[in-house]
């Protein structure tokens, strides 16, 4: 099983790249943000709860997110591996992910981070907001709050995985194909 945490600030291109990687390496792509948005669309209890946090650009409570992720992993017993996109977002979630995978005799093999400058991110996210219908992409204040939370709460995960020798930074600026090739070059060494 090959399990990859695809990491990087909002707007770094994780979703776009995950779509290529899952085909190339036959992995299941789990985006916690997408699962929340699906639940919001279908007006589930989980969706209603998540929406109150997501609308402000804040994180959904850890245990809610961890339970949801554990369910998605459990529902894919034949997976070759996973691309975790948007999860973990803090150390508590990272430790929970280790526990979830341990139950399958598996582990996170690598965290691959797409590195993109803040001002490029703000521009990309606001542009995406013009067409995506995502309310958390439509206001500069909320976009900047999400980037701030990433640096305050999430970026610490870089050292969590670095200490285990699992962190790989990849330049996330350039055309989509070039970035995919950079990611493939890292995954091929795992
Ligand atoms: P994303 O699509 O990854 O940008 O996530 C959109 C929003 O979903 C985030 O701003 C959070 O409100 C929520 N979310 C996604 N993943 C997580 C997570 N791992 N922990 C807590 N909240 C999350």
Q: Sorting pLDDT into bands at 50, 70 and 90, what band is 137?
A: very high
Check whether 94 has a pLDDT greater than 90.
yes
Element (H, E) at 13: none
Query: Length of the chain, please?
Result: 190
Atom of ligand 1 nearest to the CA of 10: 4
Atom of ligand 1 nearest to the CA of 149: 10
Tokens 């589930």 — which residue?
44
Q: What is the pLDDT of residues 64-76, one digit of tens each?
A: 999 999 999 999 9
Task: Count CB-CB contacts under 10 A for residue 154.
Answer: 23
Check whether 122 has a pLDDT greater than 90.
yes
Check whether 132 has a pLDDT greater than 90.
no
Check whether 144 has a pLDDT greater than 90.
yes
Residue numbers annotated as active site: 14, 89, 128, 134, 146
Q: How far is the CA of 40 from the centre of ligand 1 (A)?
A: 13
Check whether 153 has a pLDDT greater than 90.
no
Half-sphere exposure of 52 (CA within 13 A, CB side): 6
Give the pTM.
0.93
Three-class DSSP category at 15: helix
Mean pLDDT across 148-162: 92
pLDDT at 1: 81
Contact 25, 79 (CB under 8 A): no
- Alpha-carbon distance of 12 to 45, in angstroms, equals 29
Check whether 135 has a pLDDT greater than 90.
no
| Strand positions, DSSP E, 1-73 | 4-7, 28-31
Share of the chain above pLDDT 70, in %: 100
Contact 84, 5 (CB under 8 A): yes
Contact 130, 100 (CB under 8 A): no
Mean pLDDT across 138-152: 92
Q: Sorting pLDDT into bands at 50, 70 and 90, what band is 102?
A: very high
Domain tally, the chain: 1
User: What is the residue range of 90's domain?
Assistant: 2-187
Q: Give the residue with greater pLDDT, 133 vs 42.
A: 42
pLDDT at 9: 92
Which mutation among 32, 37, 82 tests ligand 1's pocket best, with the greatest number of atoms within 8 A of CB?
32
Contact 111, 157 (CB under 8 A): yes
Check whether 41 has a pLDDT greater than 90.
yes
Phi, psi for 57 (deg, rounded to 5): 80, 15
Q: How far is the CA of 135 from the centre of ligand 1 (A)?
A: 13
Q: Sorting pLDDT into bands at 50, 70 and 90, what band is 107?
A: very high
Q: Does the beta carbon of 82 sit less than 6 angstroms from any atom of ligand 1?
A: no
CATH number of the structural domain spanning residue 85: 3.40.50.300
């Amino acid at each position: 099983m090959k399990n990859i945490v695809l990491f990087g600030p909002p707007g770094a291109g994780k979703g776009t790249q995950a779509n290529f990687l899952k085909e190339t390496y036959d992995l299941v792509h789990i985006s916690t943000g997408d699962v929340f948005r699906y639940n919001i669309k279908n007006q589930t209890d989980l969706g209603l709860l998540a929406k109150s946090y997501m609308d402000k650009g804040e994180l959904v409570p850890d245990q809610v997110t961890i339970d949801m992720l554990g369910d998605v992993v459990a529902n894919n017993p034949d997976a070759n591996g996973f691309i975790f996109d948007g999860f973990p977002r803090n150390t508590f979630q990272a430790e929970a992910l280790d526990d979830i995978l341990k139950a399958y005799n598996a582990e996170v093999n690598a965290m691959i981070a797409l590195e993109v400058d803040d001002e490029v991110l703000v521009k990309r996210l606001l542009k995406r907001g013009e067409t995506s219908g995502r309310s958390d992409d439509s206001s500069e204040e909320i976009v900047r709050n999400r980037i701030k939370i990433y640096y305050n709460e999430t970026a610490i995960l870089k050292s969590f995985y670095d200490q285990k020798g699992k962190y790989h930074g990849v330049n996330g600026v350039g055309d989509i194909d070039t970035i995919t090739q950079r990611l493939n070059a890292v995954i091929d060494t795992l």
